[in-house]
Structure formats: C-alpha cells, structure tokens
Chain A
Amino acid sequence: MCKVSTRSLLLGFLICGLGLLTVAPVLADEVAGKRLAQRVYDRPDGDDMSTRGAMVLEEQGRAPRTRQMFTYRLDKGYGEVWSLIRFTAPSDIAGTGLLTLDHADGTSDQWVYLPALDRSRRIPAARKGGRFVGSDLVFEDLQDRKVEMDRHRLLGQETVSGVPTQVLESIPVDASNSTYGRRVSWVHEQSLLPLRIDFYAPGRDDNPAKRMEVHRLEQVQGIWTVMDSSVTDLGTGHRTRIVMEAVVYDQRLPESLFSSQALEDPARESAHRP
C-alpha cells in the first residue's frame, strides 16, 4: 500500500479547489448561456405565420433596390419547420419562390421556383454561404439553427438603445456547418428576441463582419415580432433593411401550401396572404 502524506493530500485539495474556482464560473456561464439559447429557440412564435414585407438593399450614394415578398412558416412541432418565400417585385424575380422544409433530425430540403422556366429546382439546403437575392443575408441566416449546433456562453448584461439585454455568445460546435466563426447576440429578456447580433468571420475575432439590428418590435396577437430590422456589412457599409408591413399568426396554414404544387403556382398561395 502506498502512503499518501498529509502534505500531498492538502496540496491535491488545494489544486482541485483552485481548479474548481477557475472552472466553475465558466461552466456556470455556459449553462446559463445554453439555457438562454434554448429559451430563445423555444420562445412562443405561433404555430404558423404569414408576413407581407420588403427587403431593401441600401448603399451609400446609390438608389435602394427593393425586393417585395410574402413569407409563410408552418411549425409542425418536433423541430419540423416548413417555410415558403414568394417574391413579387422587382419584375425580374417576381414569382420566384423558395420552399424550405427543415426536418426534426436537422436535415432540410430546399427548392427554388424559377417562373421563367416554370420549373422548381432542388438546391442544396446544406449551403450556408452565398447572398440571398443579393442581400446581406446569407442562406444560413434563413435556416432553422438548432441550439445544440453551437456552444453558448452568457457574457453578461448590457443595454441596447437603453433596453436591458443579456449578451450571449454562440460558437459553432462543428466549424464546417456555419459561415460564421462566432455570433454575439444581445437578447431582449421580455421578448426573447435578439435586438442585435454581431457576426464574426471564422478566425477573425477582432471585429465583427456583419451586424443585425432590430429597430422595431411589436406584439402581434401577443407574440413579439420583429417588424423592422437591418443587416449591415460592416466592411462595405452595404445594408439590407427588412420591413414587415403585416404579420398574421395562427391562421391554420395548410400543409399543402408547403409543397411543390404551391411553389410552382403562386395563385394557390395568394389566398393566405396577410
């Protein structure tokens, strides 16, 4: 039997204790961060949603370019979320539709409808980068991102435009499934919506590459809804403003609205426009 001296034992306890003192706050921040991220993910957002709005591409010294659109979302539960975006202007993209079926297991199916060809084309849903219709949003920004795909950490509390928020850092667990190396979100406690998100490019932790800012939140049918927001490319100053003019929740959108049939026939979806 080996003997353990009292001194060694004390030293062991001391090292363990110091280690715990160092690690414990970090662990606490991570637990709180994950809890907050889960609350943000689980926040009430209706069983379905329809919006009427516009996306405005703004650049210093140039006329803004506007994309008008309707969006539809159906939350089937168990992480199964279906969405349809239909553009109505400008005329060169009018009628174009994007159908996305996000499945509970994290996989997705995505099709784009091209009215000029009267054809829908399957596109890779795993695509994260690439500008969405020329905006400052990339495809990843439109996708349902599960909580467990990132490591979350609560960084503290700050105010955004006078509003108290909790600052949440999210880093992809698997760097290959995100175009961002890190995201920092300022989460509004009451609505559980981020009022600002700074997006950092991979390996570029010094300055954010892109920033999302919420300008207006409204309670629509009791659900906090982003009505006016913008995404700014901090490198170029190019900005995409997204404004919702009308939002309707829980109008019992049919599943058939999220099918290739409806994607290829805009008239089928017009009855559900808000």
Chain B
Amino acid sequence: MHSSAHHPHGQGAARVPRSLRAGLALILLSCLLIPGLSLADSPSRLLSGLYPGLSDALAAAQLVQGGLDGVGIVRDREAEGYRLLLAESVDPAQILAAQRVAERAGLRGLQVVLANGTPAPALPADHGRSRDINDREVAIQEAMVVRGRGELADVEPVHRDVGLTSVQLIGYTRRADAQRDARALGQAGIANQILSSTYERGFSVSAGVFFDEHNARELARLLISRGFDNARLVPLRGSVEHYRLVTVTRDAPPRPDPTAITLTPAAPSAEGGVLVLGSAQPSPTFAMPATATDTGGMRVGLDQLRAETGWLPDDRARADGSHYLHASVLAEWPLSDRWSARLGARADSYLQTGDRDFDRTELDYGETYLRYREPGRRVTLGAQTVLWGKVDELPPTDRLSVQDASRFMLDDLQDRRRAVLAARWEEFVGDYKVDFLYVPMFRAAEMPHEDSIWSPVDRSRGRIIGMPANPLMAPLVSQGRFTEDDGGTGGWGIRLSHAGRGMDYAFTVQDARHSLPYYELNPQVRAALLANPMDIPGALAAAPDTFIARHPQTWVVGGDLGFSLGRSTWRFEGAWLSDQPATTEDLRFVTVEAFDWVGGVEFFPGDADFRVNLQLGGRHLLDTREPLLDRENIYTLFGDAENTFVQNRWRARLRFSLGLDKRDTYINPEVAFISWEPHELYLGYHHFDGAEDTLGGFHRNHDLITLGWRARY
C-alpha cells in the first residue's frame, strides 16, 4: 500500500532499485572513461539528445535548469540540430549526478562524450530568447547577423488557428451602394474592403477584423453611432502566420523586472505589461483615499472651526466690534449597508463690544439622524437640513428649512441654515425624484441677541427692519416687550424633481411656516394706541406683550428650472405663497398672497477661472386691498463673482445685493488665502447702504471689516 510513496520518481525506479542503477551507471561511465585516461586533462561532456529546432532545445533546457548549473546549448552541425550540454567535468561523479537530474526531468537520448580536440562551443541556455516577426525576410536577415557573430539563431514559422471577429456593413444588393459606404468609411479614416459572397447574392463592406471581440464591438458601436445601422459582428475562423526568431547569445539578454521596466536609455520592451518612462518618479508619499473596505468604521471628530473678528469703522454704530467663534463636531456610523446614523453638535459664540456690548455662547444640535437607504429609496429621521430650490442666496421654494439669521446675511447660504427635526422620504424613479418632508415641530429662525447690531429690532432707534420709520411705533419698539409665537407643527412639503438630459426642473407644494419672524403689534396695544396716540405708556400697559413675532402658516406652490446654454447655466425659480405677513397703514397685522421669483445666469468670462453669478429677484404682494406699510413690489439684483489667482492660492470674491426699485445696497468683497488646506484665512468688508425701509438702509451704520480663519475637517 505504501510502495508508491517510497518510489516517487516513477515506474522505472520501481522496476530497478536506485542503488543498483547508480552502480551500473558508474561502471559504464568508468568503462567509457578508461580509453581516455591518457587524456586525463580532457573533460567529459554530458549531452542531450538531438533537437531539430532551437526553441525545442530551449524548452528542454528549462526542464533541467532548476537542477543543474550552467546548461549550455551546442549546435550539432552534422546532425543539423541542437543538443544541450548538461555537464562538463573530469569528475565522473559530477557527470553521473547531472545525468540523474536530466533523466528525472524526462530528457532522453543522453550521451557522454569526451571533450577532446576543439569541442563545439556552448552558449548559456538561459541567454535564449525569442521574438515574433511578421516579415520572413527580416527574420532571416536578423538570424544571419546573429549567426555571423558565432552565436545561435533559428527562424521558425508559426501557424496558429484563431477565432476572429469581423465588423461588416451588410445587406448591399448593389455593388455601387457598398462602394458608396466604403468611401464614407475611408473618409472617416477606417480602412475597409468590399466583399462579395460566393454562395449568396449581395455585398458587404468589411471594416476590420479583430482578435479581441471587445474591439470589434467598439468599432461596431462607433459605426452605428455614425449612421451605419447595418454594422454587424461576423465570427470568422482564420490562421495567422508569423516567424519566430530564436536566438542564444553570449551576452545575457535584458531581463524585464517583474514589476517595472525602465525604458531609458535602451529601447524598451513592454512585455511585462508595465512601462516606466524616464527616470523613475519618486514614489507617492501622500495618502491615498480609503478603499471601500476601509470606510466601514465610525467617524468622529471636528467638522468645522471658525474664528472671526470684526471692526465697525462707523462712529454712529452702536458697537465698535462684532466677533464670532464657531465649532461643530460630528460622529457618523455606517451601521450596515442600508443603515447609517449621524450625530452633530455645534457651539456658537458671539461677542459684541462698544456701547451695547454682550457676549453669548449657544450650544445647538447639528444634523442628527438615522438614515435608511436601498436602491431607489432613502429615508431619514431626525434633525436635518433640507434646502430645496435651485437658485442661490434667496431660493423662493426653500420654505421648510430653518434660517439662521444670527449674523444677518454676513455668511454664505450653507451657513445660514440650521437643522430641524423632520422625517424625509426620497424616492428615485429613473431621472425623477419624489422628496417628501414632514416637520412635526416648528423651529423658528435662529435670531441674534436683542442687543446685537444684527438684530432685526433696533430698540435704540425704535426701528424694525424692512419697515419705514414711524414716530408712533418708535417708542413702542424701544420700550415694548417682545414675545414669539413659535408653537405648533412645522408643516410638510413634497417636491418632484427631474435631473436629466438638457434640463433640470422641479415642482413643489408645501404647507409651511415662515421661518423668519414678522412682528405683529399686539391688537390690544394697537387698540389703545389708536384710541389715544399720545398715550404711549397706556398703550404699553394694555397688554403683557407689545409685539408678537409671528410665523404664519402658508401654502407654497412653486417650481424651478435649470439648463445650460453654451458656457452659461440659467436658473429660474418661483413660488406663490398664500399667506405673506404684512402690516396695514393702521398698524393691523394681515396676510396677503405673494409671489417670489428669481432668475439667474452663471457664466465664466473668458472661459477661465473667473465665475460670475447674476440673479434678478422680485417679491410682489398680491391682492392688497388696503394700503400697507410693507413694500408691495421689491426688485433686487444680487449674486456673486469669484476668481482665484497666484496658482489658486488666493481667492477674491464679491457678493452683492442691489435694490432696483429703491436704493438698497449690500456689497461684500473678500480676499482669502486658500493654499493652506483645509484652512482659509480671509479679509472681508461688508458695506450697507440704502433707503430707510430697506435692509441696507437699516444696517447702513454697520459697515464691518472682518479678519477670520475657518477650517473644515
């Protein structure tokens, strides 16, 4: 049962005991060597049988190269073939050992000869190589050159049956039609040939024959895309003939590095499948992105940091400094392929110095949610920021997000939103998306401290932003008490959007609450004031709260559209609101219908890095049956322009908003050093000006010079 294990070298070893074979061989070898004793200096050679071709000899050499040192190849001129020189020695034991190795490798016809006289020169078998050449004459010429150097060379024809794929334009019954399309192919740079079938009537045009079917498919696709709907793949059988030049030289041929080939200065061979050009480039020392398997862990850390100091140069301002610190952190867990969770938190510190100084630090939750996703669906539950719409700065259909007005409009749009507890269901069908959002509890806009210069209520002047100066209201604003009506649900909305070829568009219907407060004069205070306009203390005493910050519910029906035209992108967005808050001239709070719209174009002058985004917006209060204190039609030109310079190390940017119907100016130039990634250092200026009932006019003493640092981690 165990015999095979004891005779691992095959059946021959099983027939004759190994020790007996070795002894017989040694005796035979000794007999052979006896006649040559007088030539003791002449070694013996162990030669293989005859191989008619050099490639056969090289293949045989590979079988024994692992067990023998220095296998050579000699040309046997008489027998017109090649033999392997397996060993050359005066020591019979060495010859015998080599013979054993050769036999085990399966070599046949071994013979031991004396190397007396001038033995045929042997060349190292591991110096052999082969190269395929299509032209027979070229191959023969090269072989002659090698032989002329006293080295070995053979030219061997190689025939190979192959499966090919032909790309053909088929179905021509008239040769003229085939010729017409053949010419068209030729003009497109595609070599072709007209074929006529022996067995069938008709013609076809062959546009190429490929070994690799993939290449054939690529060409067929190309032809079909160019209108040749009759392009087909036709399987063919064929044979390929070329000539293999096999050489064995004295010098070792260049060996390809298994990982790379340096191509200079010698002409390269790319047989290894790798091509390195020029001197090797230093290895990358930078980090590579994580692979899919690396992303399975939890991510915890800083999200954003920001520090800004602001100086107000205008002596009429209530403050001389307005400073800001911000930090946000997040933790993300990819719980499984479908589930993920996120926890976010933020801290904001506001410091104001001057006549009205204060400092305030607030903690708030950031986006904190549980998310489920599957193909075509995503569901998110928790605090989240959902920003609908297409245009920048003031998207009219963005009515369910929570505005952050704690710094008025000093920051970009993405920094002017807060998270709100909501349930969101996104359903994707092809290029369409249905987005449903429900906000169970209303969260009002984040507002500044009442002493902040960025507050919409200026108690020192008795003014509310956006309203004309009113001597009747001023003492109420200055001395009154404010409360907020921010209870109830936040509303819901649905948005159907399409992002596809040519244009993007969306429609939305929402039942929303106004995020920014609108200050209603308490009806009891109003009644007292109207009864006796001179009795301000009486009016203030008429109710516990003088003003109520309202967030009226409104229906919103809107849509947006975006498309590219040449090198510009156009965006349009509009929304009808059923209930826009307003105040009548007799100080009564009402809601009226309104229509907000924005149309804009983004383009790149000179087709370079300079980007300009121009937007024109309007707000119209509709169906106003009585005179209002509010502006009934507002037209604004706003947007931004941005450019990078000095090798993208610096960025210059200008944000602006200009009233068209009334003077209302906001200009914010900023220069930022952005090369120190992910940090940015910036210097900015915020300029406000305008008529008294405009935003710019309300803040016209609040020009601000800022110097800041921000980083995103």
Binding site for B on A (CB under 8 A): 31, 34-35, 37-38, 42, 44, 46-47, 52-54, 56-57, 59, 62, 64-66, 68-70, 77-79, 88-92, 101, 103-104, 109-111, 114, 116-131, 134, 147, 159-164, 179, 188, 190-191, 195, 213-219, 228, 230, 236, 238, 241, 243, 245-246, 256, 259-261, 265, 267-268, 270-274
Contacts and interface: CB of A to CB of B under 8 A. Distances in A.
A267 B340 contact: yes
A129 B603 CA distance: 12
Contacts of B562: 121-122
A52 B295 CA distance: 14
Interface stretch (B75-83, B565-573, B630-638): B565-573
8 interchain residue pairs of minimum CB distance: A219-B273, A134-B648, A129-B607, A77-B221, A260-B499, A217-B275, A78-B225, A68-B289
Contacts of B263: 161-163
Most buried by B among A114, A127, A256: A127
A191 B263 CA distance: 15
Contacts of A59: 647
Contacts of A46: 214
Interface of B: 188-191, 212, 214-215, 217-219, 221-222, 224-225, 260, 263-268, 270, 273-278, 281, 284, 286-292, 295, 334, 337, 340, 373, 375-376, 378, 385-387, 390, 413-414, 428, 431, 433, 499-502, 504, 562-569, 602-604, 606-609, 611, 644, 647-648, 675, 677-678, 680, 711-713
Contacts of B564: 109-110, 122-126
A268 B373 contact: yes
Contacts of A238: 647
A64 B286 contact: yes
A267 B334 contact: yes
Contacts, number: 218
A230 B562 CA distance: 35
A261 B435 CA distance: 12
A114 B265 CA distance: 47
Contacts of B565: 124
B501 A103 contact: yes
Contacts of A230: 281
Contact of A265 (B217, B267, B378, B609): B378
A243 B289 CA distance: 12
A116 B563 contact: no
A234 B504 CA distance: 40
Most buried by B among A31, A66, A118, A122: A122
A43 to B, nearest CB: 8
Contact of B568 (A89, A124, A217, A260): A124
A44 B214 contact: yes
Contacts of B264: 161-162
Given A88-B290, A163-B275, A259-B428, 6 more contacts: A53-B289, A54-B287, A90-B678, A104-B225, A131-B648, A215-B276
B428 A261 contact: yes
18 contacts: A34-B189, A54-B284, A54-B288, A64-B286, A65-B677, A68-B286, A77-B218, A88-B290, A89-B289, A91-B713, A92-B680, A131-B609, A179-B607, A216-B260, A216-B274, A245-B284, A245-B288, A261-B433
